[in-house]
Structure 1
Amino acid sequence: MSQDQSSESPAVPEGGHGQKGSTRAQARTAVVWQVLKEALDRQAKAGPSPVLDVLDTGGGTGNFAVPIAALGHRVTVVDPSPNALFGLQRRAAEAGVAERVRGVQGDAHGLFEVVERGGYDAVLCHGVLEYVDDPAEGMRNAVAALRPAAGTLSVLAAGVGGAVLSRALAGHFTAARRALTSPEGSWGGSDPVPRRFTPGQLRDLVRAEGLEIAAVHGVRIFSDLVPGGLAEQEAGALEALLELELAAAESPAFQAVASRLHLLAVRG
């Protein structure tokens, strides 16, 4: 992943409540956090232990790992950047969950050089498939990290439609057409994202590994397009933006133009 953040959430990824900037950041991640937290809660209640072992591939400074650890779970973060892993440990310590967060340097292709195959109750593959040389292999490794009997996979990746729409609205029509027609969903050499996906492409990658798709959501449908000043002109506008993001997330029509796509899949 009700239409609001759970009051039981220990933290809201990318910022907390009460500040304009953080509320806008919350609108960008609220759907993912809501769906993910509910899935972890269900799995913890149904499994043999309420404490889950969670793997966050490409988890960086712990935007999701630290809030998950604050729920009581053990989280291993794999990231190629030592600076990001340093930031992860600092954030975990500040949140009081350092004993439940472990950072290891590595990447999706060499995943089992640094973590155990089949050793995790849940795996996050957020912002990874856009950058790996072979998305199918990256997905295969993420699924192989799940326990053989049961597990939850959370995939977050860049969406083609959102890039096309944002380029067109900015007046960069040639770049928009290139992103639309490119097999990788990229607008060219200046594009910071090497690859983007349609909802169907993400579904195909997951189904190829034998998992059942539980939910697909559009993320950052509006929040990346609305100018910051416009969203802050009147009281309650940012909160209304958050509610709009949540309301549109499950609509296939809006998933097609979302900046990010979130897919939740399960095994067993």
Structure 2
Amino acid sequence: MGDQGEIDSGIQQYYSSVFDEDARLTTRSAQSALEFVRVQELVGTRIAAGSRVLDIGGATGIHAKPLAAAGHHVTLVDPVEEQVVKARRHGTFQAEVGDARHLRFAADTFDVALLFGPLYHLRKADDRLQALKEAARVVVPGGWIFAAAIPRFIHHAAVSLGKTPPTPYPQAWINTLESGTPTPGGRFPAGHFHTAEELEGELQTAGLTDIELHAIEGSAGFALERLPNDEALLQAALTLVRRTGHLPGIRDLTNHLMAIARTPTNAPH
């Protein structure tokens, strides 16, 4: 896909009529359960009871629902109306159509913001920075920001492994590794693929503090996309990622990275 307008149009088509995001996060493979458990533990063990949570790019509410059930006050925003309609059916949190780059909420409305999707659908660094700054704007000073990214190395593996390496090596694959540019021709409306260090730098540029980087699925996640749900595999993968998911280099060998940060407490907000 080309410019951001084309990506935005692709997002509408992909998530409304091509791909079932709800199934990806629940039943599609053993990776689904691994991602769900890790996101909930990385978020749920940090935020205070009864937090006001804004789930930006929250899709059908897979993560919003358990957070609401835990007593948090959740508002979900997603650009795809079909996903918002599905999210509203849960009935335990607010859900509306919106864009991560232009949030309608006043400053300091929430204690927590989740961005699980926007960063890897935005091609330009300026757009990603705008989304991060918007999330920080609507969160109180000292509040939490959780932002997910797709590592460029896992995307390269997805398009290159299991094949005889072509000669010469495709320039598009090199571009992915060098700059995070998505390879052309795929269905997924990708905007950018990160390294952990690049993701950390973007959060720093947005003015966020106390940044941590963690693999969500870890090095077992790629394999678990090929396997059905299995409790023993899930527990083994959780043990591995809990022990290694914070390690530089190793943390990039995952389906998704999570950056965890705080909004500044000593700056105008």
Q: TM-score band, normalised by the shorter chain?
A: 0.7 to 0.9
Provide, for residues 166-190 of structure 1, a one-character-per-residue CA deviation record: whole Å limited to 9, x for no partner.
3332327535434213x23312243
Partner amino acid for 2:232?
G
Q: Percent identity?
A: 22
Aligned to 1:145: 138
Q: 1:81-100 counterparts in 2 under 5 A?
A: 81-90=80-89, 92-93=90-91, 98=92
Aligned partner of 1:75: which letter?
A: V
Structure 1 residues 31-70: aligned runs within 5 Å: 31-40=38-47, 44=48, 50-70=49-69
Q: Is residue 2:76 matched to residue 1:77?
A: yes
Tell whether 2:120 aligns with 1:130. yes
Consecutive unaligned residues of structure 1, counting only runs of 5 or more, are: 1-12, 45-49
RMSD over equivalenced CA pairs, Å:
2.6
Gap change, CA 1:81 and 1:165, over 3 Å in 2: same
Per-residue CA deviation, residues 36-85 of structure 1 (Å, 9 max, x unaligned), is: 10111xxx2xxxxx421111111111121111111111111111111111
Counterpart code for 1:117? A
Contact 1:56 1:123 in 2 (8 A): yes
* Closer, same or farther: CA 77–242 of 1 in aligned 2, 3 Å: same
Contact 2:109/2:139, CA 8 A, preserved across alignment? yes
* Residues 188-247 of structure 1 deviation map (CA, whole Å, 9 limit, x = unaligned): 243622211111111111112222134211123322234635986xx8334323322333
What are the ranges of 5 or more consecutive residues in structure 2 without an aligned counterpart? 1-23
- Matches of residues 219-238 of structure 1 in structure 2 within 5 Å? 219-220=216-217, 221-226=219-224, 228-229=226-227, 236-238=232-234
Number of the residue aligned with 2:153: 161
The CA distance in 1 between the partners of 2:28 and 2:131, in whole Å, is 33
Greater than 6 Å deviation, 4+ residue runs? none
TM, length-normalised to structure 2 = 0.76
Which residue of 1 is the match for residue 235 of structure 2?
Answer: 239
**C-alpha distance in 1 between matches for 2:229 and 2:243:** 17
TM-score by length of 1: 0.77
Given the superposition, is the C-alpha separation of residues 30 and 246 from structure 1 closer, same or farther in structure 2, using an over 3 Å criterion? farther
| Equivalent of residue 108 in structure 2, options 118, 123, 126 | 118
